[in-house]
Chains A and B, each alone.
Chain A
Amino acid sequence: MTDLFLELNCEEIPARMQNKAIADLERLFLDALSQGGFAPKQSRTAISPRHMALEITGLIAQQPDTSEERRGPRIDAPDKAIDGFCAGAGVSRADLIEKDTGKGVFFFAQIDQKGASLERRLAEMVQDILSQFPWPKSQRWGRSRMSWVRPLHRVNVLLDGKAIAGQVDLGGSMSITFGAETEGHPFYTDELISLTDFDSYVNDLKRSYVIVDAAERRDLISAQAAEKAKSAGLNLRADDGLLAEVTGLVEFPNVLIGKIDDAFMQLPAEVLVTSMRVHQKFFALNESDGKIAPYFMTVANRLPDSETDALIIAGNERVLRARLSDAAFFYETDQQQKLEDYLPNLEQVAFYEGLGTVADKVERLQKLIPLISDSISGCDTQAAQRAAALSKADLVTGMVGEFPELQGLMGSYYALSSGESEAVAVAMRDHYRPAGPSDRLPETREGLALSLADKIDTLVGFFGVGAKPTGSKDPYALRRAALSILRILDEADISLPLDTLFVEAARLHGFDTADADLGRFVTDRLVVRLRDSGLAYDTVAASVVDGDISQIDRQVKRARALDTVLSTETGTALIAGFRRAANILAAEEKKTGSIDAGTVNPALLAADEEKALFTAVEALSQASDETKGGLSKAMQGLADLRGPIDAFFEAIIVNAEDPDLRTNRLALLAEVRGAMMQIADFSKIEK
């Protein structure tokens, strides 16, 4: 068994690419080694900004030699055939052996193959994998023709602790010869570290001020941050995205805490947090009461040292002051005019080609609002319309220009300072929500209405000009818009006829009607959403009608109720009964054509079981008309059907000798099938 240790040393790899890169490196080598027959067993990896390391253990160092005797053409075959055989087998004609197989005399070739050596094959693998590595963006350097994410300096390839011979050809007469040495932290040591194996590498690098394992670095940052926050009586504002990024920016983390000038604490907390995060990659902190604290945390890439730490903190504080002065400047100048005074500027901002300007969009939103707010009980239509009118004004303010992620939020702050009502401001703040699966819904009814209007307008508009998502490409996040609409309708329990609303929205865009694919697009998302929520595949299929978006809320509720019913023993029995009825009917319909429900003659119902089933199915038909009964009644009706169905099939022979009785019983089963299909498409249930 042989162990491989591979180490790459390059200039700083962008933080966001590191996790995928090390996973790709591991996968590509495991695949290549498996395909080459070297049977890799286990692997470990580590990545830091300047280092990538991979260990693969349990490899076969030398594959056994093989020997094969291959039969060729008959000895009297034409020369062309014999030459062809020789070329294929890689032997000369003189080496061929003649043998009588009993069915004639044939040529045979003896083919001996040396077993592949890992060491020899590895050099090629390294060249192949490195020169075709799937970086999202890569570059050439010097005279190289090969690309890497940033200039690559060292390629170390070791088998059982020893460097193998070989090199990576970079093209342009540049190459890197395999070695067994790497660098430590570039600012602290020039000494090179000799490599042997993964464990000593990790330890030796640590002594040279590089913590090469990303998880260890992340945990170290978390622990240092928690400790520093605690000793200052503060709490860290959790930010996993930032933590992951910073982990990829440093090799030897040193968490430092600095002060924010009091003058800036009047800025909205979100502005402080965003400015610190986006520009400086600082963490924000909270006071014990949850309010933002006048402190920040930065993670330096170096050893702790009280003297230099103070210098570095002072430097970072100075930069932050400049950054926040900018933010304060925007905040102040943005408020020198009322929010509505920004509206004319929206006429200059294109929304999307063919969909007019943002000002046009705002106008459409205002017209859409009443069509939506009517379906949201307690929604203040006027406030929602006012919020719609102002909703995009912040896009042309300085602050949102600088921090696009503050859109909506800045609008609400500026609305309040312009004298707008709380209801308007909150709706504006929330109208981009939910921005993702983990994001909250708008808090108010007006916010819900505006969020729906915004997303419906976008969805209908983009479909209208043919900018539909294809495959994995969804540049305008239309799938997310559709999912957000569904989430709002479901979680806020809103009943909205999307079909007619889409048509209205399309007309506001100047289209004749809504795009034909929209209904299907939305119900496809609905199916995904319901499945993701844990409902069975077939239950969802039975409940969602493709392309029918007139009553989304009802489809959702039906799916959930059906799921509950079907997960009981009653449900299983019901399905069995349904299937039995459907099978009998299908066989009969094959012979005689369709059988109508509703033609049951009560006078011909003889047995008690028949009568009971008839009563139950009549009740279900009534209940399944949801306008009268509602879903729970329908579900109760379904459950109530189970006993009579079971009893019916137990006692009654459908195929009665009396043709009238027989026809009547078939009609009764047709009525059962019809009533059940009214509720959901039970034919799609597979259990």
Chain B
Amino acid sequence: MALDFQSILLTLQQYWAAQGCVILQPYDMEVGAGTFHPATTLRSLGPDDVWNAAYVQPSRRPTDGRYGENPNRLQHYYQFQTIMKPSPANAQELYLGSLEAIGLDVKKHDIRFVEDDWESPTLGAWGLGWEVWCDGMEVSQFTYFQQVGGIECDPVPLELTYGLERLAMFIQGIENVYELDWDGVPKDKGGKKYGDVFLRAEREFSTWNFEVAETSRLLQHFKDAEAECALLLAHEPPLALPAYDQCMKASHLFNLLDARGVISVTERQGYIGRVRALAKQCCEAWVGVGAESSEKGTN
């Protein structure tokens, strides 16, 4: 019996907890990818010499919305994220073990590691690794981070990102995301499918993202987030975590503006550069403050 959606999530949490990961809950803000969670972005840099964590993170990609009409695309979906610093020597083995744990027998499928150079221009981050394919479907991204916020990662963290919906569709053999079994409860007992939980949200948010969002207000919010971020960074000592919240906010607002089609091609680079500048300063502040507080801790 294939695992239902929530069991896949729970199993992954248990698996990575058993590998010594801190299990966190989703960050309580809108982000475009699990990487934005401070547990990945900031902790990749410091202050801990060892940092292993795993969490699920709802990810919002306004431009990917399809009003609930496309069986494969969503503007809101789940990523499961594992971060291990330093990257373990048996990283691939651990990853394959996680697939086995959720019922995917790697001996019976065609698993492939296909080159994927990961780069996040908004986070000033890059790494090398692969897309992991299972029978032709990309089920995960496997990345050795080299740089975040323009700062070199040392030691090097391993980031694993599972696209939970795709993985679940693969495991359940389903072609329409809305048909995913969410809870394993029979329908006549009130069991829920993915569509029961999210279809209405996809419709309404697609409408908001593409048609309704008041762009002048979004632009103002972007500027506000930028200004607030600057204020927090200028504080003595800099307040890195609250500042980074504002950076995430600005990034999401940019995505919303992008979906509304009000950012021209030439302006695009400018906005990305502005968010990157925030991310960079937040990371620098985080590393600086982190070093200071750990020193205090040892005194």
Question: What residues make up the interface of A, taking CB atoms closer than 8 Å to B?
Answer: 11-12, 14-16, 49, 137-144, 149-151, 153, 172, 186-188, 249-250, 280-282, 298, 300-302, 308, 311-312, 314-316, 318-322, 325-326, 329, 348-350
Contacts and interface: CB of A to CB of B under 8 A. Distances in A.
A60 to B, nearest CB: 37
A318 B72 CA distance: 11
A264 to B, nearest CB: 14
A11 B72 contact: no
27 contacts: A11-B113, A16-B115, A139-B128, A140-B156, A141-B86, A141-B158, A142-B87, A142-B89, A150-B128, A150-B129, A150-B144, A151-B87, A172-B155, A249-B112, A281-B114, A298-B110, A301-B110, A308-B108, A314-B135, A315-B110, A315-B137, A316-B135, A319-B135, A319-B137, A320-B136, A325-B72, A349-B265
B51 to A, nearest CB: 13
A302 B110 CA distance: 7
B92 to A, nearest CB: 6
A298 B110 CA distance: 11
A280 B136 contact: yes
Contacts of A172: 154-155
Given A186-B92, A308-B109, A348 B156 contact: no
Contacts of B175: 318, 321-322
B230 interface: no
Nearest to B106: A187
B136 A316 contact: yes
B87 A141 contact: yes
A143 B158 CA distance: 12
Report the contact-size class of chain B (Cβ under 8 Å from the partner).
Answer: 35 or more
Most A CB atoms within 10 A — which of B86, B128, B154, B170? B128
B264 interface: yes
Contact of B109 (A49, A249, A315, A320): A315
B95 to A, nearest CB: 11
Contacts of A314: 135
Contacts of A326: 70, 72
Contacts, number: 107
A494 to B, nearest CB: 35
A316 B138 CA distance: 11
Given A151-B87, A315-B135, A316-B136, A14 B115 contact: yes
A142 B155 contact: yes
Nearest to B113: A12
Contacts of B266: 350
B91 interface: yes
Given A141-B158, A348-B264, 6 more contacts: A11-B92, A15-B115, A249-B114, A250-B112, A301-B110, A318-B173
A139 B146 contact: yes
Contacts of A186: 92, 96
Interface of B: 70-72, 86-89, 91-92, 96, 106-115, 117, 127-130, 134-137, 144, 146, 154-156, 158, 170, 173, 175, 264-266
A322 B71 contact: yes
A551 B265 CA distance: 40
A280 B112 CA distance: 12
B198 to A, nearest CB: 18
Contact of B135 (A138, A187, A311): A311
A141 B159 CA distance: 12
A312 B135 CA distance: 5
B86 A301 contact: no
A315 B158 CA distance: 28
A15 B107 CA distance: 23
A172 B153 CA distance: 13
Contacts of B265: 348-350
A301 B111 contact: yes
Contacts of A315: 109-110, 134-137, 170
B144 A139 contact: yes
Contacts of B106: 187
A315 B109 CA distance: 9
B115 to A, nearest CB: 4
Contacts of B91: 151
A156 B63 CA distance: 49
Contacts of B264: 348
B128 A137 contact: yes
Contacts of B135: 311-312, 314-316, 319
Nearest to A282: B136
B110 A312 contact: yes
A655 B198 CA distance: 104
A209 to B, nearest CB: 12
B65 to A, nearest CB: 14
Contacts of A321: 175
A271 B108 CA distance: 31
A142 B111 contact: no
Contact of A140 (B92, B130, B146): B146
A249 B110 CA distance: 12
Contacts of A11: 92, 113
Nearest to A147: B146
A141 B130 contact: no
Contacts of A151: 87, 89, 91, 144
A326 B111 CA distance: 24
Contacts of A348: 264-265
A150 B91 CA distance: 12
B261 to A, nearest CB: 9
